[in-house]
Amino acid sequence: MTMRRVYYRLLWVAVFALPLWVLLGRAFFGVPLGLQFVGQLLLVPLLFVGQAIATGVVVGRRSVRRTKAVSWADVGLLSLSWLGQLGLGFFIVDSSAESPSSSAFTQVAGGVSALDLSTALFALCAVVAIAAGVGLFAAGLWQFAKEARARMATSLADLERAASGTGAAAGRRSGLGDDDPVITITPRS
């Protein structure tokens, strides 16, 4: 339960921090912001919006708000999504007119020899992040519908029990027992 609560607390922080990491992460390793940065200025806001919508669907569930903990399915999908986005910021290859192509990974791993591996890992991270985000959205909607259906069934059963006047709960609420007389008043015509 503790891990699920930690993920709940990190939900909105990650919505802001991870797209910012994807946009600027490689700059912390000394990689110049070049042509790839221009494309990211257009795509990272889409990442932010998509992640905010998926997080909203997760937080929109009553069980998540009540317990302040996400489900285990959410934990798995959020982990994949977050790791994919961390990888995007670490493996993205960029270049400028003054410097050769590099990424944060190539700066750490040691130069141009790791450039192809960095590009391949970036593509893998992009696929993982997108698939996990879509999966998180779909799983959140499915869990939301399942919870809503269960609440609706419970509410309808309570209404039916109260309307029919049967059941121990209806008798206790009215203060009548099984043998108590019932007075019926019929209106005049």
What is the model's pLDDT at position 163? 82
Looking at residue 173, its pLDDT comes to 52
Could you tell me what percent of the chain has a pLDDT over 70? 92
94: which DSSP letter? B
Lowest mean pLDDT among 23-27, 117-121, 180-184: 180-184
Q: How far is CA 152 from CA 70, 138, 148, in A?
A: 22, 21, 6
Q: Which two tokens stand for residue 19?
A: 């797209």
CB-based contacts of 81: which residues, under 8 Å, 6+ apart? Answer: 51, 54, 128, 129, 132, 133, 136
Name the average pLDDT for the chain.
86
Q: Does the pLDDT of residue 109 top 90, yes or no?
A: no
pTM: 0.78
Please check the confidence at residue 159 and state whether its pLDDT lies above 90: no
Residue 21 · residue 89 · CB < 8 Å: yes
